[in-house]
Amino acid sequence: MTSAREAATWIELSVLADAESVESVAELFSKHGYNEGVVIEEPYRQDGDGENLAVDPTRPVTVRTFLYDDVDAPGKRAALDQGLWHLRQLGEVGELTERIVREDDWESAWKAHFPVLRIGRRFVIKPTWQEHEEADGDLVIHLDPGMAFGTGSHPTTEMCLLALEDLDCAGVEVLDAGAGSGILSIAVCLLGAATVDAVEIDPYAANALTENLRLNHFDDRATTIVGPIGASVSEGKQYDLVLANIIARVHIEDAATFGAVLRPDGRMIASGIISEREGEVVDALAAAGLAVERRLTAGDWVTLTLRPDAR
C-alpha cells in the first residue's frame, strides 16, 4: 500500500530576483512556503578547472520555495503573487514560475542521468539502482554517489581508471587523495590492493565514500580519512601508489606531500588537471622529485602517471 508520504505532491515555486531584492523575496517566501523553507541559488562563475569560484553579480538570483499540494495551496500562491507584485515596484523581480513535483519523482529523477558505464577493458561502474549482467572478467564498482562528486562519467575519472588498468596493483598500499565517492579506492581494491587510505575533505562526500566502500565489501581494506591531504597522512608513512584526482591548485599545494609519501619504486596517477595549468602542476611535482612517465588527455583534461625521479 502506498503511504501518504510516498504519494505526496509538491508545488515548486521559483522567481528570479536582483541582489537587492533577494532578502525581501526570501522573507515573503518563508511566510507562505512549507515549513518556512526557502532555497536561494546564487549564480556562480569559475575557471574551467574549478578554480576561482565566485558569485556572479551580473546575473539574477533564483529564489525557491515549496507548497504542499493541498486545499490551502491556491490561497498561498495568491498571497505570493500579490506580495511579488509589490516587490516589483521596488526592484527587479521576475514572474513566479510553478512546477508540480511528485515526491518519489523528486528523489529519483536525477538518477536517470547515471547509466551503467563500462570503462576500459574491465571496469564497470554500476549505480545501485541500475541492473547489469556481468560478463567474465568484469570488475564492477557498485556506486551510490550521494552528495559526492564522482559518478565515473567525468573524463578525469575515466582516465584514472584507464591508467590504473596498466599498473600491477596486487598487494600495494595506496593513498587516494581527494577520494570523492570512492570510485578509485574501490577500483584499486578490485585490482588487488592490500590497503587504501581514502582521504576526503568534504564530510558529505566522506559519508558517501564510507558507504560505497561498505557496499563493495572493501571497508576492511580501505579507510576513510576526513581532512586536508597534507594533514591526513601519518608522519613517515609511504605508499606504493598515490591516486589524486583533484584540481591543479591542490596538486601544486600538496606536491611536496606526494613526493614524500611515494616509495622509490612507486607510482602516482595525477588527474583533474586542466590543460592550461599542466605546466605548473608538472613543475611542482618535478620539484618534489616526481617525473612524468605517461600522459593521457581527454578534451581539456590531462592525466599523468608519474614515478620518483632517479636522477
Question: Does 75 or 46 have the greater pLDDT score?
Answer: 75
- Same fold yes or no, 9-109 and 114-308: no
Which neighbouring-strand residues pair with 242?
A: 175, 268
pLDDT category of residue 287 using cuts at 50, 70 and 90? very high
Can you tell me the distance from the alpha carbon of 61 to that of 15, in angstroms, rounded to the nearest whole number?
Answer: 8
CATH class of 9-109: alpha beta
pLDDT category of residue 108 using cuts at 50, 70 and 90? low
Quote the percentage of the chain above a pLDDT of 70. 88
pLDDT category of residue 4 using cuts at 50, 70 and 90? very low
Q: How many CB atoms lie within 10 A of CB 94?
A: 17
- Kindly state the cell numbers that stand for 90: 521596488
pLDDT category of residue 297 using cuts at 50, 70 and 90? very high
Which neighbouring-strand residues pair with 161?
A: none
Tell me the per-residue pLDDT of 20-30, one tens digit each, with 9 for 90 and over.
898 889 889 98
Mean pLDDT of 93-118: 76
Quote the percentage of the chain above a pLDDT of 90. 59
Q: What is the pLDDT of residue 26?
A: 87
Most confident of 44-53, 197-206, 272-281: 272-281
Ordered by start, the domain boundaries in the chain are 9-109, 114-308
pLDDT at 290 > cutoff 90: yes
Most confident of 13-27, 112-126, 187-201, 221-235: 187-201
Question: Does 38 or 169 have the greater pLDDT score?
Answer: 169
Tell me the per-residue pLDDT of 117-131, one tens digit each, with 9 for 90 and over.
899 999 999 988 888
Q: What is the pLDDT of residue 280?
A: 96
Question: Which of these CATH numbers, 3.40.50.300, 3.20.20.140, 3.40.50.150, 3.40.50.11890, describes 114-308?
Answer: 3.40.50.150
Q: What is the pLDDT of residue 9?
A: 83
Mean pLDDT of 53-68: 85
